[in-house]
Structure 1
Amino acid sequence: MEQNQRICKKCLLKEMQESEYFHHLYDYISRLDADIKTDESKYQDRLERCKACDSLMNGMCRICGCFVEMRAVIDKNGCPHTTPKW
Structure 2
Amino acid sequence: MNKCKRCFLYEIAGKEDVYAHVLRTRELLAAKDKASDAVYDKRLAICRECDSLLEATCLKCGCYVEIRALKKDATCPLKRW
TM over 0.5: yes
Q: Distance in 2 between matches of 1:49 and 1:74?
A: 16
Aligned residue for 1:29? 26
1:74 deviates by 0.6
Amino acid at match of 2:17: E
| Identity of matched residues, % | 34
**CA deviation map 1:48-71 (0-9, x unaligned):** 000000000111100000111111
Aligned residue for 2:52? 55
Note if 1:65 corresponds to 2:62.
yes
SS for the counterpart of 2:33 is coil
Instruction: Please give the root-mean-square deviation of Cα atoms over the aligned residues, in Å.
Output: 1.2
Higher relative contact order (CA 8 A, sep 6+): 2
Q: Distance in 2 between matches of 1:73 and 1:24?
A: 12
Aligned residue for 1:78? 75
Moved more, 22-31 or 49-58: 22-31
- Structure 1 residue runs of 5 or longer lacking an equivalent are 1-16
Moved more, 23-32 or 64-73: 23-32
TM-score (norm 1): 0.72
Amino acid at match of 2:51: D
